[in-house]
Amino acid sequence: MVEIHLERTIAAPVEQVFDWLADPANLAAAPLVLKAGYAKDSPGPGAGAVREVVGLGTWFREEITAYDRPHSYSYLIVRSFPPFDHEGGTLTFTSSGDSGDSGDSGDSGDGAHVDWLSNYTHPARAGGKVLEAISYRLLRSSFLAILNGCAKALER
């Protein structure tokens, strides 16, 4: 199984970071993504929403399986090319100012810590371990580009 696990602190309010990363159009911050958005038949943001991502040599149809703004959301690749056996992905958001020792309301505005975890395999018929070695590098760099795009858009 392939595991991609990234963490990043972005100097912006956690609600803004959540909203930016939950908006499928912003997945296009990854250089290989050509187009991303909600599927035509999808409800708006929330559990049950379906997003579609088209990239160079790939496409994904993902369902949002859990949505707890601004704390976390999870997604599952339900169809794709090349095929994925996706165990799911989750982005978890915490306020980086939540140290608890400031004595104020806890909203220090220090930023948002993002923890992104995704696990998958590729079936043997699609290239199995060989494709996993390639997709890990491509997806990890894409996730990093998306987090960098969020920081660039929201940090002051």
Q: What is the pLDDT of residue 109?
A: 57
Per-residue pLDDT of the chain (156 residues; tens, 9 = 90+): 999 999 999 999 999 999 999 999 999 999 999 999 999 999 989 999 999 999 999 999 999 999 999 999 999 999 999 999 999 999 999 998 754 443 333 444 579 999 999 999 999 999 999 999 999 999 999 999 999 999 999 997
Range of the domain at 56: 2-99+110-154
Residue corresponding to tokens 């060989």: 130
44 within a domain of the structure (yes/no): yes
CATH code for the domain in which residue 50 is found: 3.30.530.20
105 within a domain of the structure (yes/no): no
Question: Which region, left, alpha or beta, applies to residue 119 given φ > 0 means left and ψ of -120 to 50 means alpha?
Answer: beta
Q: Give me the long-range contacts of 68-73 (CB less than 8 A, separation at least 24).
A: 69/15, 69/18, 69/19, 69/22, 69/45, 70/14, 70/15, 70/17, 70/18, 70/19, 71/18, 73/18, 73/22
104 within a domain of the structure (yes/no): no
50 within a domain of the structure (yes/no): yes
